């Protein structure tokens, strides 16, 4: 399936908000790294975000929707970072 980029304003808005929402988890990662602790952060929440993002990524690839693929990839990396942090630190 090929990626189609549309020029309608709602498509551009979806792409912009997709990128912004993809970075929503990164401030929490920054706090975890700076404090050296994931205390008070729910592992279950990040596991759900990880699984949900995988499904959305598969759907976005299937439909060729870049506006869904970007936040999915960013959220996969972010949630995986938090999950790994729980088991390493």
Question: pLDDT tens digit string along 26-66?
Answer: 999 999 999 998 888 999 999 999 999 999 999 999 988 88
CA distances from 40 to 20, 45, 76, 78 (A): 24, 11, 20, 17
Count of positions (residues) in the chain: 89
Tokens of 77: 């990396």
Q: How far apart are CA 53 and CA 76, in angstroms?
A: 6
Average pLDDT for the chain: 90
CATH 3.30.70.270 correct for 9-88: no
For 41, list phi and psi in degrees, rounded to 5: -100, 135
Supply the pLDDT for residue 4.
67
| Other C-beta atoms lying within 10 Å of the C-beta of residue 80 | 15
Read off the pLDDT band of 88 (50, 70, 90): confident
Say if residue 1's pLDDT is above 80: no
Radius of gyration of the chain (CA): 15
């Amino acid at each position: 399936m090929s990626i189609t980029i549309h020029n309608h304003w709602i498509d551009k808005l979806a792409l912009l908000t997709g990128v912004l929402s993809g970075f929503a988890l990164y401030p929490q990662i920054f706090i975890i790294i700076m404090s050296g602790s994931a205390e008070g952060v729910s592992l279950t929440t990040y596991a759900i975000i990880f699984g949900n993002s995988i499904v959305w990524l598969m759907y976005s690839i299937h439909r060729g929707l870049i506006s869904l693929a970007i936040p999915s990839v960013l959220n996969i990396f972010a949630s995986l970072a938090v999950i790994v942090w729980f088991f390493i630190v």
